[in-house]
Amino acid sequence: MQNFDYMTPTRLIFGKDVIVKLPEVMEKFGKKILLTYGGGSIKKIGLYDKVKELLSGFEIYELSGIQPNPKYDPSVMDGVRICKEEDINVILAVGGGSVLDCSKAIAAGACYDGDPWDLISYKVKAQAALPIVDIITLAATGSEYDCGGVISRTETNDKIGYMDPHLFPAVSFLDPTYTFTVSKKQTAAGCADAMNHIMEQYFCEDSSILNDGFMEAGFKSLMTNAKKCLENPEDYTARAEMMLTCTYGCNGIYALGNSQTGWPCHGMEHALSAYYDITHGEGLAIITPRWMKHILTEKTVGRFVKYGVNVFGIDASLDRFEIANRAIDATYKFFESIGIPMHLREVGIDESRIGEMAHHVAVNEGLEHAWAPLLEEDIAKIFTDSL
């Protein structure tokens, strides 16, 4: 077990109708709120009106139109400008991981005099951030329980994951009923994103009985509950279990003390969605089984055996590589079964920019230091295998 230093101070208020606590929560932070959200789905489900009604005694400024793979310009820049001009006390992010990630960048940028990109690109370390409260409407990224975010900068094809301990949300509201209307496509993509978050921590040099069991339960929870959510979008228990399993995805709790893995699939997928703006979870689902096949060696086979036996119930007496290959195939088939397009061509990516993307990943993501190291040619091969 490796040494670690862990803290997640976020308060989780979870369950049906918990939003009634919103006013008393916001009150502690001040009266001037920047309300951030995306394309209007929160209006369709009545959540926007509910929030405005609950916060009628507050002074609310709005930043809407935050896109998936949230953009530095205009979203982050606009948000920072409003916070500074209006002297905002607290950001209330209502939506999925993209809205929250964008809000984190705004929260840090609002307390910094220079270009917020300095913070996102780690040129400068944040010294403070505005407090963030969120109401999550999509089970996927786990941003509601971690201190990181991913921001895209279109002109440079950069999609950067940045982390800073100032960026833990102070309070996250998680009401599973807000995810009842999430489309089948986004439900499946959210599941794939969360599956991959656990994989990025599971496939490592060593682990413990505790962490392995926790993560294997996470895989099983996601697979079982995603199917239930697709069959019956208003299955409260399935939506709730899905939501909690996703929440733990990125704050480290699934694997405290595990050795580092390098998060290779996220490193590769960030290029795909930076160059082509595809749905992050779909990109992950497409490349994950190809990455697994590519890194399957004598060194890694043991972890795939454990994964295959404990998650998919594959017969432990089979040959190790047979178990591993069956586990990888089962992973592919699971993603396919929940309706994810499993080829890059299906999401509009052809071979034309693979070399460029592989180079970008090799230069920027440090995957030569991953548990199963990936060089530029490995990355290009995985992209090509994914076509």
200 in Cβ contact with 265 (< 8 Å):
yes
95 sits in the region (left: phi over 0; alpha: psi -120 to 50; else beta) called: left
- For position 212 contacting a copy of itself by CB under 8 A, the verdict is yes
Return the number of the residue (117 or 202) whose C-beta is nearest a copy of itself: 202
- From candidates 6, 57, 298, 317, binder to a copy of itself by CB under 8 A: 6
- For position 218 contacting a copy of itself by CB under 8 A, the verdict is yes
Interacting positions 255-274 with a copy of itself (CB under 8 A): 256-257
Task: Report the distance separating Cα 280 and Cα 142, nearest Å.
Answer: 14
Return the number of the residue (39 or 257) whose C-beta is nearest a copy of itself: 257
116 in Cβ contact with 225 (< 8 Å):
no
- From candidates 75, 103, 143, 221, binder to a copy of itself by CB under 8 A: 221
- For position 13 contacting a copy of itself by CB under 8 A, the verdict is yes
Return the number of the residue (110 or 135) whose C-beta is nearest a copy of itself: 135
Q: Taking the mean position of all CA atoms in its chain, how far away is CA 164?
A: 16
Return the number of the residue (270 or 306) whose C-beta is nearest a copy of itself: 306
Helix (H, G, I), strand (E, B) or coil at 113: coil
Of the listed pieces 8-16, 31-39, 43-51, 284-292, which binds a copy of itself according to CB under 8 A? 8-16
Residues whose CB falls within 8 Å of the CB of residue 156, separated by 6 or more in sequence, listed in order: none
Residue 156 CB neighbour total at 10 angstroms: 12
* DSSP output for 88-104: --EEEEEESHHHHHHHH
Helix (H, G, I), strand (E, B) or coil at 50: helix
- Minimum gap (Å) between residue 244 Cβ and a copy of itself: 6
- For position 297 contacting a copy of itself by CB under 8 A, the verdict is no
* Interstrand relation of 158-163 and 171-174 (parallel, antiparallel or unpaired): unpaired
Q: What are the backbone angles phi and psi of residue 60, rounded to the nearest 5°?
A: -110, 125
- From candidates 217, 318, 342, 387, binder to a copy of itself by CB under 8 A: 217
- For position 230 contacting a copy of itself by CB under 8 A, the verdict is no
Return the number of the residue (8 or 364) whose C-beta is nearest a copy of itself: 8
Interacting positions 85-114 with a copy of itself (CB under 8 A): none
Task: Report the distance separating Cα 99 and Cα 97, nearest Å.
Answer: 6
Residues that bind a copy of itself (CB under 8 A): 1-16, 18, 176, 208-214, 216-218, 220-221, 224-225, 236-237, 240-241, 244-245, 253, 256-257
